[in-house]
Amino acid sequence: MEYPSLAEIDLDALGANLRTVRSGLDGQKVLAVVKADAYGHGRTPCARAALAAGADFLGVAQLAEALELRADLGPHPRILAWIYGPDADLAPAVAADIDITVSTFAALDAVALAARTTGRRARIQLKVDTAMSRGGFALEDLAEAATRARRLETEGLVRVVGLWSHLARADEPACGLTEIQVERFEQARAASARAGLDIELHHLAASGGTLWHPSTHYDMVRPGIVLYGLSPEPAIASAAELGLQAVMTLSAPVVLDRRVPAGTGVSYGHTAHAGSPARLGLIPLGYADGIARSASNSAPLSIAGARTRILGRVCMDQFVVELPEAAAVGDDAVLFGDAAAGVPTADEWGAACGTIGYEIVTRLGPRIERRYLGDGTGTPPARKDETKGSPA
Ligand SMILES: Cc1ncc(COP(=O)(O)O)c(C=O)c1O
């Protein structure tokens, strides 16, 4: 028995987005960010598609995600990870040849221990905080960190291959903070060079920096959201304006068509009342599937080629819509997909729910089947039923 809702993932759209990103660069490497199950799109299929489309590196947040990805993809792709617990045993990550981000002196000790335990040189990337006040060495500690890392290099325990940081306000191109972060990053770069490190990869830019701040491109960029065809800041430019194609189309069938008297209260709390003519449709998705309750009475859908919206409160497993004239039971209700198909986008959902497109796609639950189209190389999408529901 299958669940009725479907997220179609167009891997060729992902490949096309990656090539669009690359066309705006000047030869820099591209690290495809596939953390959080590739922003809800399915980590391994998206990682394979990104590699097929020419990604040089993969990036995930958690070390555990990196190890799972290594198990799925084998020894070749470079994989960077940047989050792990304070007591994490880093030996499995060293053994799996993950690029381990080091943000603290304790992590530097842990990685050296892991290198001794495994008998392998750990590949590490130092992270410096240049304004995000999140992870990373404080700028004033970077010289000491680089000196200690260099000592571990000479002992044969680590190889420092990267120095990186993260932008806090790249989606506000005029605010001036990115330029300050670049200056601080330059100071970190100089400090690591003075310590004797010869670093291959300096990187700073996620999607916003990649699109709007060429000065942050350095040796590699780390796009995430743009690969999935959403805009990092729709107020600056929509995904369509950026030449991106939505990778995910989320739909579910209309399972019920009810005519009710005008003015009938709808769903919990009767926060909405049926209009006239009053035709209500039921969609089998709810907040347990990641459909935000804040979508109640606001988020758009497309059914039978017409736009409609959610009526009343989103429930745990279902919500009600105003049914367009031409719609019938069994029709696909498209919640979001690519703008060129005339359907709402996840960015529109973000606006309707008071959040961002990132959150809309990343929180979809396991009752939504993922079905993969294409392979990232740009061949025309074709249904691949053998990959249905198996993101591996
Ligand atoms: C360190 C790091 N790099 C890159 C990204 C990708 O960001 P975006 O999806 O905005 O491109 C993220 C995501 O939050 C991140 O945490």
pLDDT tens digits for 315-371? 999 999 999 999 999 999 999 999 999 999 999 999 999 999 999 999 999 999 999
- Select the CATH number that applies to the domain covering 12-227 from these four: 3.20.20.10, 2.60.40.10, 3.50.30.40, 1.10.3110.10: 3.20.20.10
Cα torsion through 298, 299, 303, 308, rounded to 10: 20
The DSSP symbol for 56 reads S
Decide if pLDDT at 390 tops 70.
no
Catalytic, out of 29, 35, 84, 358 = 35
Decide if pLDDT at 130 tops 70.
yes
Distance from the alpha carbon of residue 224 to the mean position of ligand 1, in angstroms: 6
Six token digits for residue 240? 């369509």
pLDDT the model gives residue 2: 87
Type of residue at 170 = A
Question: Was domain 248-387 assigned CATH 2.40.37.10?
Answer: yes
From the list 300, 294, 253, 303, the residue with the least C-alpha distance to 271 is: 294
pLDDT tens-digit map of 238-276: 999 999 999 999 999 999 999 999 999 999 999 999 988
Q: Which of 189-203, 308-322, 374-388 has the lowest mean pLDDT?
A: 374-388
CB 351 within 8 A of CB 336: no
The residue whose C-alpha atom lies closest to atom 12 belonging to ligand 1 is: 206
Cβ of 282 less than 6 Å from ligand 1: no
Distance from the alpha carbon of residue 136 to the mean position of ligand 1, in angstroms: 14
pLDDT tens-digit map of 206-248: 999 999 999 999 999 999 999 999 999 999 999 999 999 999 9
Name, in order, each residue with C-beta under 8 angstroms of 294's C-beta and a sequence gap of 6 or more: 353, 354, 355
Six token digits for residue 43? 């980590």
From the list 190, 70, 182, the residue with the least C-alpha distance to 123 is: 70
Q: Cα–Cα distance between 141 and 184 in angstroms, integer?
A: 13
The DSSP symbol for 225 reads G
Distance from the alpha carbon of residue 32 to the mean position of ligand 1, in angstroms: 10
Mean of pLDDT over the chain: 95
User: Hey, where are the domains in the chain?
Assistant: 12-227, 248-387
Q: Cα–Cα distance between 35 and 298 in angstroms, integer?
A: 29
Percent of residues, the chain, with pLDDT higher than 90: 94
Distance from the alpha carbon of residue 93 to the mean position of ligand 1, in angstroms: 21
* C-alpha to C-alpha distances, 89 to 63, 103, 107, 117, 186, nearest whole angstrom: 10, 15, 10, 10, 32
pLDDT the model gives residue 269: 98
pLDDT the model gives residue 386: 33
Q: Which of 29, 166, 362 to mutate to test the pocket of ligand 1 (most atoms within 8 A of CB)?
A: 166
Cβ of 225 less than 6 Å from ligand 1: yes
- Left, alpha or beta for 40 (phi > 0: left; psi -120 to 50: alpha)? left
Decide if pLDDT at 384 tops 50.
no
pLDDT confidence bin for 1, thresholds 50/70/90: confident
Return phi, psi of residue 172, to 5°: -130, 75
What own/partner pairs with CB < 8 Å and gap ≥ 24 does 324-331 have? 327/254, 327/257, 327/281, 327/303, 328/254, 328/257, 328/304, 329/253, 329/254, 329/255, 329/256, 329/257, 329/281, 330/253, 330/254, 331/253, 331/254, 331/303, 331/304
Q: Does the annotation count 35 as an active-site position?
A: yes
pLDDT tens-digit map of 133-160: 999 999 999 999 999 999 999 999 999 9
Q: Cα–Cα distance between 48 and 375 in angstroms, integer?
A: 8
Which atom of ligand 1 is least distant from the CA of 225?
9
Which atom of ligand 1 is least distant from the CA of 35?
13
Name, in order, each residue with C-beta under 8 angstroms of 176's C-beta and a sequence gap of 6 or more: none
Which atom of ligand 1 is least distant from the CA of 31?
4
The residue whose C-alpha atom lies closest to atom 1 belonging to ligand 1 is: 166
Which atom of ligand 1 is least distant from the CA of 164?
1
Q: Which residue has the higher pLDDT, 392 or 151?
A: 151
CB 73 within 8 A of CB 391: no
Q: Which of 245-259, 277-291, 375-389 has the lowest mean pLDDT?
A: 375-389
Distance from the alpha carbon of residue 223 to the mean position of ligand 1, in angstroms: 6
Type of residue at 66 = A
Q: pTM of the entire structure?
A: 0.95
Cβ of 21 less than 6 Å from ligand 1: no
From the list 52, 133, 72, the residue with the least C-alpha distance to 60 is: 72
Six token digits for residue 4? 């009725």
Decide if pLDDT at 392 tops 80.
no
